[in-house]
Amino acid sequence: MNNVIVFNEKTMVFKDNTFYVNEKDTPAFTTAYKVVNPKTGKSAEFNLSHSTGSEWDPKTVWIYKNKDLGLELHVSQDPNITKRRANNYLYHKTNKHENKKTSSK
């Protein structure tokens, strides 16, 4: 699994059976993550459950769950990354050289 998050007390919080982390401190977006505790070597896998909003909203949180252990992983969007992602999307959707239509005579 390429989407491993190593628990780091400087960038993550664990409270009430939930891990909290910002997307800038995770591998690329995916539908499943594995969180590893480097002190114990134990790990838990989390599957995407839902989001609290749009992928374009910097306040959106992606909720992942491990139902067997009753744990959650909350990945919050980073405002800078979200803005860049939205701008890139808009650029590619509106860029004329990529949307040229060919006419047939």
Strands 32-36 and 4-6, bridge-based pairing: parallel
Cα gap 40→21, rounded to integer Å: 20
Where is 93: in which H helix or E strand? helix 79-94
62, 75 Cβ separation under 8 angstroms: yes
Give the list of residues 6+ apart from residue 1 with CB closer than 8 angstroms, or none: 32, 34, 45
- Work out the burial of residue 34: count CB atoms within 10 Å of its CB; fewer than 13 is exposed, 13-18 middle, 19 or more buried: middle
pLDDT in tens, the chain (105 residues): 579 999 999 999 999 999 999 999 999 889 999 999 999 999 999 999 999 999 999 999 999 999 999 999 999 999 899 899 888 888 888 885 554 554 454
If DSSP codes are grouped into helix, strand and coil, which group holds residue 80?
Answer: helix
Distance CA(65)–CA(54), nearest Å, equals 19
